Structure 1
Amino acid sequence: MNLSKGKMASLGFQHVLAMYAGAVIVPLIVGAGIGLTNEQLTYLISIDILMCGVASILQVWKNRFSGIGLPVVLGCTFTAVGPIIAIGNEYGVTSVYGSILVSGLVVVVIAKFFSKLIKFFPPVVTGSVVTIIGITLIPVAMNDLAGGEGSENFGSLTNLALGFGTLLIILLIFRFGKGFVQAIAILIGILLGTIVASFFGQVDLSPVAESSWFHMPTPFHFGVPEFHLTPILTMILVAIVSLVESTGVYFALSDICDKKIEDKDLERGYRAEGLAIIFGGIFNSFPYTTFSQNVGLIQLSGVRTNNVIYTAGFMLVLLGLVPKIGALTLVIPKSVLGGAMIAMFGMVISYGIKMLSKVDFSSQENLLIVACSVGMGLGVTVVPEIFADFPESVQILTDSGIVLGSLTAICLNIVFNVRKSKKAILAEKKTA
């Protein structure tokens, strides 16, 4: 697809807006959780945005060693938030980055082995995982639409009007817009929603005024990394869980882009993710994984070229180097972002359902796999405190609806389909 520089920039910026809030919220939560100063938090946010760009470029750039070669956007994984805060408070921030470094190295090493597990990801599993990803993210969108969880004006008429108004603008653009205008419907919706929000006093420009013009990343900014066994094992588990989630995204994008992926492609994709995690450890940012909202955006825009993601990646690097520019995206009200997220996350669900359309649902086993995995994913999301009494090491698996639902789909597929097919092969051999 041939796109002008202006169109490429608009589409790339649309991807930046789609993932920016999710990328920024992680350093804000972690910084508050481990008691960082404002200066340290400023660095953490800037380096995180920069590394999101580097990680995305690494993943899109397909070469002999790494890169899935699909339009993937990477950001810091939410699965790591709880473990990072726990490690930081008990062992210190330098131990956090020691464990991240080791987990990245482990991912690079096991990439080849993990890619051989592709047989455990048939459409009934990948479709379920993608559907679960979308379903479990909808509450995030709804909370943002209402003004953000815990906000003083949560659920106010103003927030609801801005959120649903933004969604309505996006829908109207899709109904009546054509070509490029339709492709940047999310961007237009967010910009118009923000302009309207400014008349209601919901746009705060102080983050722009307070931000510096230039910020240079430095390796091991928070000190020389330390290595302790428990934090290392914890972050390795977080990294493996992220690989499971990324696998679903890879298959969804391969379907959207009509590009079949083999185990070699998965190996390069996992290895790129491992490299991104290593860079996160070196520059004191975070472990990185695929961002699902950008999958929905690709489906909505219809633009599947990798050049758009390269553009978004370089924009993220620029935003990380120039915090004042990056702060501009922080002025977008949560209610406006929430309205746009409903469309994006909803498209993830739709694509999961489309992937499931390839599944043989005359099989009761397949029906049970989808039913239980989606049920577990949604259940944990709606009732997050259900596993509160479990050990923290186990809660890494049980706290996330995406993780628990995905593992349920994989395990049930092994029980119902993989083992059954092995028995059938053995029975054929005996009769022969």
Structure 2
Amino acid sequence: MNKMLTNSKAAALGLQHVLAMYAGAILVPLLIGSAIGFNSEQMTYLVSIDIFMCGVATVLQLVVNRYFGIGLPVVLGCAMQAVSPLILIGTTKSIGAMYGSIIASGIFIILIAGLFSKIKRFFPPVVTGTVITVIGLTLIPVGIEKMGGGMKSAADFGSGKYLFLAFLTVAIILGIQLFAKGFIHSLAIIIGLIIGTIVGSFMGLVTLAPVAEATWFHFPQPFYFGAPIFEWSSILTMILISIVSMVESTGVYFALGEVTGQTIEEEHLKKGYRAEGLAIILGGIFNTFPYTAFSQNVGLVQMSGIRTRKPIYFAAGFLMVLGLVPKIGAFATIIPEPVLGGAMMILFGMVATQGVKMLSQVDLNEDGNLMIVALSLGLGLGVTVVPELFANLPAAVQTFTGNGIVMTSVTAITLNILSHHGRKKQAVEMVVEEGNLIDLPETV
């Protein structure tokens, strides 16, 4: 099917990728901009340039060259874990310090890309499968909340009309996946979103006000909010966040490698990190935010069955056009929350399923593997559900302990190293006892 992928089909798949990540992409600028107190004109620029730079950041990963680009069908968007720290920097320091710290963190990522890429040997299937499973499971509640209307605190959360629309969308996507053939089968998500939005309009859940209020054209402008200020504590905070993002991106890269049948080597990771760092630097220059690989699009690649980068090139192009022409981009914002929630719940479930599939290849009867999976899943999901567990720790520490994906990654990697060291030591003792020394593998 990939060999017969025409431009029109690739464009449709690309649009599907845009719709899957659009809400998450614009959420970061909306949250940060409103917290800092930006006016409507500033917010318009913030959202538009963010979408434009999502497209640029994605292209940097798609185009493989000597220095950067991982070459996987990956879509980049704003890192959600950066929201709270950036709001804190922007409100207590200055907007200039906020963007200075972003630029500095991007430079930091590029500088350590080679060193960080060597962590590949710490990601055997037992670790990677566990991390990918948690990525999907920790995102599912986001989709569930949207299915109920978007805000759990709302008085009408979980009302009948929201649930009807959400499960109608799920039913449409499921029906297309089960009964449709050929290319239509690959477009299950976008068809579900379109039909769900049309039905939602008859229920009074769609408004065209965002389209009417949006401008026709908005051109990117460097340092729109002023020159960057490089303040050391802000930079240190964003460096910590960048490490968190790199860990999450590593999980996404390995997930996509598994889906597309590609082996991810150190060189791939190094170029991927560099592209991410370059995207973050450009984000700081054009006054947007840090970028990272979006895990929801992994599920879409798996569901569509299209493993090539061609649809992602179209997705990147659409994002840049949407960023330059806000009035067009505003159409994607009219999709009702329950419709988005139904689609997101399926996509995130697909990501978790990919992780379970990888774990099915692991011998859980082998010493340590069962405990690696059990403890890593428990801690990762635990801090996601009860983030208050580490509320009394320093803020810098909470950057790591409050993120379920990072907690899972650190736990799984650490336990895998300890388990492997124990097995290796035991093997050495057995060999020595037999008087037959041999060379043992160094891989973890």
- TM-score, length-normalised on structure 2? 0.95
Partner of 2:36: 34
Alignment of 1:382-397 (within 5 A): 382-397=385-400
Displacement of 1:153: 2.2
Question: Aligned residue for 1:83?
Answer: 85
CA distance in 2, matches of 1:43, 1:253: 32
Change over 3 Å in CA distance of 1:425–1:93 after alignment to 2: farther
Please point out which of 283, 293, 297 is paired with 2:296: 293
Q: Is the 8 A contact 1:132 1:406 kept in 2?
A: no
Q: Deviations over 1:79-135 (max 9, x none)?
A: 111110111111111101101101101111111111112111111111111000000
CA contact (8 A) 2:59 2:316 kept: yes
The match for 1:134 among 130, 133, 136 is 136
Contact kept? 1:56, 1:313, Cα under 8 Å: yes
Which of these residues, 25, 28, 33, is aligned with residue 27 of structure 2?
25
The equivalent of 2:70 in structure 1 is: 68
What are the ranges of 5 or more consecutive residues in structure 1 without an aligned counterpart?
none
Residue 197 of structure 1 deviates from its aligned partner by 0.3
Give the letter aligned to residue 188 of structure 1: I
Is the counterpart of residue 351 in structure 1 residue 351 in structure 2? no
CA-to-partner distance for each residue in 1:357-379, whole Å, 9 max, x for gaps? 22121124111111111111111
Aligned partners of 2:175 and 2:310: how far apart in 1? 27
CA distance in 2, matches of 1:106, 1:409: 25
In the superposition, relative to structure 1, how do residues 216 and 152 fare at CA in structure 2: closer, same or farther (>3 Å)?
farther
Task: Please give the secondary structure, in 2, of the residue aligned with 1:289.
Answer: strand
Amino acid of the structure 2 residue aligned with 1:128:
T
1:161-205 alpha-carbon deviations (Å, 9 max, x no partner): 101110010000011101110100000000000000001100011
Whether the 8 Å CA contact 2:130–2:412 is kept in 1: the answer is yes
Question: 2 CA distance for matches of 1:317 and 1:346?
Answer: 29
Partner Cα separation in structure 2 for residue 429 and residue 216 of structure 1: 70
Whether the aligned pair in 2 keeps the contact of 1:73 and 1:290 (CA below 8 Å) is: yes
Q: 1: CA distance between counterparts of 2:392 and 2:44?
A: 35
Residue of structure 1 equivalent to 2:183: 180
Q: Following TM superposition, by how much is the alpha carbon of 1:380 offset from its aligned partner in structure 2, in angstroms?
A: 1.4
Please tell me whether residue 333 in structure 1 is matched to residue 332 in structure 2: no
Q: For 1:121 and 1:426, locate their aligned partners in 2 and report how far apart those are by CA, in whole Å.
A: 26
Distance 1:100 1:404 in 2: 23
Deviation (angstroms), 1:384: 2.3
Instruction: Give the number of the structure whose alpha-carbon radius of gyration is greater.
Output: 2
* Within-5 A mapping of 1:1-150: 1=2, 2-149=4-151, 150=153
**Contact 1:214-1:321 within 8 A present in 2 as well:** yes
Query: Which of 369, 373, 378 in structure 2 is aligned with 1:375?
Result: 378
Query: What is aligned with 1:243?
Result: 246
Aligned residue type for 1:366 = N
Equivalent residues in 2 for 1:186-225 (5 A)?
A: 186-225=189-228
Counterpart of 2:411? 408
The 3-state SS of whatever aligns with 2:31 is: helix
Residue 368 of structure 2: SS of its match in structure 1?
helix
* Cα pair 1:238 1:396 within 8 Å, conserved: yes
Contact 2:143 2:345 in 1 (8 A): yes
| Deviation string, structure 1 residues 270-295 (Cα, Å, up to 9, x no partner) | 11111111111111111111101100
What's 2:279 paired with? 276
Which ranges of structure 2 fall in alignment gaps of 5 or more residues?
A: 438-444
In 2, the alpha carbon distance for the partners of 1:286 and 1:426 equals 52
Q: CA 1:44/1:176 → structure 2, altered by over 3 Å: closer, same or farther? A: same
Match of 1:308 in 2: 311
Mapped to 1, the partners of 2:432 and 2:275 lie a distance apart of: 41
Instruction: Tell me the equivalent position of 2:441.
Output: none
